[in-house]
Amino acid sequence: MVPVIQLVDFRKSYITGEVEVQAVRGVTLTINPGEFVAIMGSSGSGKSTLMNTIGCLDRPTGGKYLLDGIDVGSLNRDELADLRNQKIGFVFQGFNLLARTTAVENVELPMLYRRGGQRFNNPRERALKSLERVGLGKRTDHTPSQLSGGQQQRVAIARALVNEPTLLLADEPTGNLDSRTSIEIMDIFQELNAAGMTLVMVTHELDIASYSTRMVVMRDGRVVTDRPVEQRLNAKQELARLKQEQAAVKLA
């Protein structure tokens, strides 16, 4: 089995003025198809930097990164763009939707850049289906400013899924959401994972990480912990429990 992600002694440093900032200092990590990995760690520990590299948005300054067995370091700008378009769905930290553009048009965006024979002939229909899949069947013609944070996050996820990637990356997908909406997002992720998709997400919250199958903790640009999740939570059960509790509060 070819791993989806294979990082070997991955390093990334930024040069700001005279100072060299080492954001990631040697990470070796293998993620296999069907895994749901949560990356944790304090602020500034290099999580986003790692995610950007996994997402082919950035190139390592040291070490090696293989995506589906392909050495990303050897690809040029256009090849990286095609890889992002076809294999990777990225949910950005902060939703990064196009302002003044409707939800469905935002979701259509990645399909615009599919090439040649891979083009879908019914992008609008696919976009609507993708929105429905993440629970946003209505309000598809609303612009981001007319949507709540949770709804915007759903649009961002629908956009990441619309090109049917093999890998979904999410940088703090629940960062600005209340706990109930967060669990709803985890529900979507667990469903996708159950259907065979590989997921990697960054999170600060331990309980959100408990919905994944594997937890990786970073500190100062290095992986300090990497272990399977033992008491995995099920989003559907948690939602049902939450509903009961709220009902109880109302009764009392």
Ligand X SMILES: Nc1ncnc2c1ncn2[C@@H]1O[C@H](COP(=O)(O)OP(=O)(O)OP(=O)(O)O)[C@@H](O)[C@H]1O
Which residues form the interface with Mg ion (CB under 5 A)? 48
Nearer to Mg ion among residue 140 and residue 203 (C-beta): 203
Q: Binding to another protein by residue 82, rule CB under 8 A?
A: yes
| Residue (of 245, 239, 115, 127) closest to 186 by Cα position | 239
Q: Binding to ligand X by residue 153, rule CB under 6 A?
A: no
Q: Binding to another protein by residue 119, rule CB under 8 A?
A: yes
CB of 68 to another protein, least distance (A): 16
Q: Distance between CA 247 and CA 90 in Å, rounded?
A: 36
CB of 130 to ligand X, least distance (A): 27
Q: Binding to another protein by residue 140, rule CB under 8 A?
A: no
Retrieve residue 103's tokens: 């939800």
The mark string for 13-52 relative to another protein (x by CB under 8 A, - otherwise) is ---------------------------------------x
CB of 34 to Mg ion, least distance (A): 25
CB of 118 to another protein, least distance (A): 11
